[in-house]
Structure 1
Amino acid sequence: MHAHAGDWLVVKGVRVDLPEQRGRIVSVGGPEGGPPFTVRWLADDHVSTIFPGPDALVLTEAELTEQDEHDRERFERLRALRHTGEGVRHA
């Protein structure tokens, strides 16, 4: 895993009731952009230094924006299906 200062660290929730956590990478400590990463977490502005696990992704600003747009479009499609009753299973 490699990063640059300014990239985003996204740690996926391991359960449905645990949302993903996002933080801006402030600095990288390893050679050639490897961990540990110093991250300022979006949720509480806390700064920590971590070695990300397999549930983490490093995304550029553009990649994060693209992912968010994809997620919004998916949500809207699902909402529209729910609203129209399409795709609803009846017992």
Structure 2
Amino acid sequence: MQAHIGDKLVVGCAATGATRRDGEIVGLHHEDGTPPYDVRWSDTDQIWLFFPGPDTRIRHVDRPPDATSPGAVAAAEV
């Protein structure tokens, strides 16, 4: 799993009655875009360190053509 700053995470849940959760990746801990991620959750607006599980999906956002690697995006954002 690889992500960039600004990508969206959607965490599903197979348990009955449980809700999905979504958030925005606001920080990377590895230049190659692998987990863990700092995520700002949409339901609480809090930022948490997140290790994605098998029910997590990444929705990649459009980036400018010069943003070729996750590390380049993270460096530009910091």
| Structure 2 unaligned blocks of 5 or more | 63-78
SS at match of 1:39: strand
Normalized against structure 2, the TM-score is what? 0.72
Bigger mean CA offset, 10-19 vs 39-48 = 10-19
Larger Rg: 1
Which position in structure 2 is the counterpart of 1:39?
Answer: 39
Higher helix share: 1
Distance 2:61 2:20 in 1: 16
Distance 2:48 2:24 in 1: 11
Deviations 1:45-69 (A, max 9, x none): 011011101110111247xxxxxxx
Alignment map for 1:2-41 (pairs within 5 Å): 2-41=2-41
SS at match of 1:33: coil
Amino acid at match of 1:27: G
Which position in structure 1 is the counterpart of 2:70?
Answer: none
Report deviation, 1:31.
Answer: 3.4
Alignment map for 1:58-77 (pairs within 5 Å): 58-61=58-61
Amino acid at match of 2:41: W
Alignment pair present for 1:56 and 2:56: yes
Distance 2:10 2:35 in 1: 14
SS at match of 1:32: coil
Extract structure 1 runs of 4+ deviating beyond 4 A: none
Amino acid at match of 1:44: T
Q: Percent identity?
A: 37
Distance 2:33 2:45 in 1: 22
Distance 1:50 1:9 in 2: 10
